[in-house]
């Protein structure tokens, strides 16, 4: 259903079941709506999106045989959110895995791409011999990394620690600078000196505490698999665990929108800006207040509950009433970084490098103008015509924000220069597209779990308000989907 009526009529529509406003039409909001409707046949859900399209940062376009992802290009499958959503809407048969032929990653070392050591998963070195023979680290760096197996664990694991502090303590500075910073930076676009290990990669804290060492934990886990091949074979970011729809992530959004429209319980309203939220006690029942959603240019609407899926600084702007002052302040305490993706199409023969991997990560110590390059058509089939390759080059992030001050033309120019220097590009791309994401990546700084805990405690005081999105418990698509689904469940249970 598209559209909606004035305040009185719209509130009347939900009298036989909860009427819920979902603010934000990205994957979090759409997943929340789907979950709410699938578990409550009486619920009426209105999804408000301020732009003309739903899907948020997910955006797939097709041109001259190229399938271009202008946002994320896949999701990890060992977190359940993405797979659960696909199962629920009958979409799972559309998913394809990564191409095993190229399931490896590269890291820049003194201007030259080198393979990430085989079996090195983020910062879990599963094959010590691969570390001993890698050209990425010096002899001293290799010895220091492998010495991690003999170091004592931290005695106060409850104290939050930055990624950089953990890695230097366990593996040494060179491993941080040459391997782990670029691999982790490609996921979080964050400064490792500020990134909270507890909020992003708690598994490594658990490995240290349980086995005394990340290396010993990794080897023990391998023995427990009894020799069976691991889904995470390869190197870098556990590429064997990733999947994507055959026709791009945009097709997942399309399928989800179709499911919502066919449910008869969802109203999708685009190009409509929510200006504020306020709580109004229902007549005769002050313990169960209704929520007024104020809209720009149209009549206000009333709801029994609100799921707010916007970035935290935008959510804070909507909570302008004095009664929300503490919550709004806590929401603004979460910082965001900006980035850009430059999507380019090329003839494969225009590169001196074979591009025989899923991508290249670039350590900050290399002083280049890009964070990473994803060889998208090597990761997944059907992304480029025969004899061609599709690349996605990442610029900016928390450590290089000044690069985003350049114009699109300037960004395209220096990205082409970097591709030439690093990968031997010899000709101009067939096309180049710059996509900017301003203040789009929440920064999980040290203390993030405490900040989120405070936000959640303050939110409980506002019955019927539920927060969801990538700012709280994970930045990936499965995390965002799970966050939306969890918010829907809280609505159902009246939390």
Please give the sequence-ordered ranges of beta strands (E in DSSP) within 122-230, or none if there are none.
124-125
Could you say which residues of the chain have pLDDT below 70? 1-16, 226-240, 282-289, 495
Q: DSSP code of 401?
A: G
- Domain assignment present for 112: no
Cα separation of 437 and 448, whole Å? 22
Residue 243's φ and ψ, nearest 5 degrees, are -145, 165
- Domain assignment present for 430: yes
> What is the structure's pLDDT at 227?
54
Please give the sequence-ordered ranges of beta strands (E in DSSP) within 370-417, or none if there are none.
372-375, 388-396
Q: What pLDDT digit, counting tens, does each position of 170-224 carry?
A: 999 999 999 999 999 878 889 999 999 999 999 999 999 999 999 999 999 888 8
Same-domain pairing of 121 and 230? yes
Cα separation of 432 and 438, whole Å? 19
Same-domain pairing of 265 and 292? yes
Residue 375 in contact with residue 358, Cβ under 8 Å?
A: yes
Same-domain pairing of 347 and 427? yes
- Domain assignment present for 66: no
Of the residues 235, 264, 296, which one is the last residue of a structural domain? 235
Please give the sequence-ordered ranges of beta strands (E in DSSP) within 110-240, or none if there are none.
112-115, 120-121, 124-125
Instruction: Name the residue range of residue 409's domain.
Output: 74-101+336-442
- Domain assignment present for 106: no
Of the residues 421, 442, 463, which one is the last residue of a structural domain? 442
Same-domain pairing of 84 and 29? no
Same-domain pairing of 358 and 410? yes
> What is the structure's pLDDT at 168?
97
Q: What pLDDT digit, counting tens, does each position of 68-91 carry?
A: 999 999 999 999 999 999 999 999
- Domain assignment present for 1: no
pTM summary value: 0.92
Residue 6's φ and ψ, nearest 5 degrees, are -70, 175
- Per-state percent for the chain, helix, strand, coil, to nearest 5: 40, 25, 35
Cα separation of 123 and 207, whole Å? 11
- Domain assignment present for 164: yes
> What is the structure's pLDDT at 233?
46
């Amino acid at each position: 259903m598209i559209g909606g009526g004035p305040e009185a009529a719209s509130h009347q529509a939900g009298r036989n079941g909860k009427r819920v406003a979902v603010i934000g039409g990205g994957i979090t909001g759409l997943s929340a709506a789907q979950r709410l409707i699938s578990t409550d046949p009486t619920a009426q859900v209105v999804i408000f999106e301020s732009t003309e399209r739903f899907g948020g940062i997910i955006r797939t376009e097709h041109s001259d045989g190229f399938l271009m992802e202008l946002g994320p290009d896949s999701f990890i499958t060992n977190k359940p959110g993405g797979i659960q959503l696909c199962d629920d809407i009958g979409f799972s048969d559309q998913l394809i895995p990564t191409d095993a032929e190229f399931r490896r990653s590269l890291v820049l070392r003194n201007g030259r791409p080198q393979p990430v050591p085989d079996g090195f998963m983020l910062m879990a070195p599963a094959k010590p011999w691969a570390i001993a023979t890698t050209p990425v680290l010096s002899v001293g760096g290799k010895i220091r990394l492998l010495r991690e197996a003999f170091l004592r664990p931290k005695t106060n694991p409850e104290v939050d620690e930055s990624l950089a502090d953990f890695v230097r303590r366990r593996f040494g500075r060179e491993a941080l600078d040459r391997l782990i910073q670029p691999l982790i930076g490609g996921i979080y676009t964050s400064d490792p000196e500020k990134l909270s290990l507890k909020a992003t990669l708690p598994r490594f804290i658990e490995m240290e505490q349980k086995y005394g060492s990340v290396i010993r934990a990794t080897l023990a886990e391998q023995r427990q698999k009894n020799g069976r091949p691991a889904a995470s074979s390869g190197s870098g970011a556990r590429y064997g665990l990733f999947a994507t729809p055959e026709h791009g992530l945009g097709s997942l959004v399309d399928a989800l929108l179709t499911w919502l429209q066919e449910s008869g319980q969802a109203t999708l309203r685009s190009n409509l800006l929510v200006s504020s939220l306020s709580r109004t006690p229902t007549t005769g029942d002050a313990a169960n207040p209704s929520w007024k959603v104020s809209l720009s240019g149209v009549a206000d609407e009333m709801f029994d509950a609100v799921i707010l899926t916007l970035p935290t600084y935008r959510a804070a702007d909507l909570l302008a009433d004095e009664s929300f002052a503490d919550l709004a302040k806590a929401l603004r305490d979460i910082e965001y970084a900006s980035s850009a993706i430059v999507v380019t199409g090329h003839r494969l023969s225009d590169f001196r490098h074979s591009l025989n991997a899923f991508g290249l990560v670039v350590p900050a110590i290399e002083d280049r103008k890009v964070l990473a390059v994803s060889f998208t058509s090597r990761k997944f089939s059907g992304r480029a015509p025969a004899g061609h390759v599709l690349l996605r080059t990442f610029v900016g992030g928390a450590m290089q924000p000044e690069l985003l001050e350049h114009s699109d033309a300037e960004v395209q120019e220096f990205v082409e220069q970097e591709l030439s220097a690093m990968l031997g590009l010899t000709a101009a791309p067939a096309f180049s597209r710059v996509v900017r994401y301003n203040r789009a990546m929440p920064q999980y700084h040290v203390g993030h779990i405490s900040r989120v805990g405070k936000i959640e405690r303050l939110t409980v005081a506002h019955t019927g308000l539920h927060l969801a999105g990538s700012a709280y418990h994970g930045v990936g698509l499965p995390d965002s989907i799970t966050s939306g689904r969890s918010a829907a469940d809280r609505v159902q249970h009246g939390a």
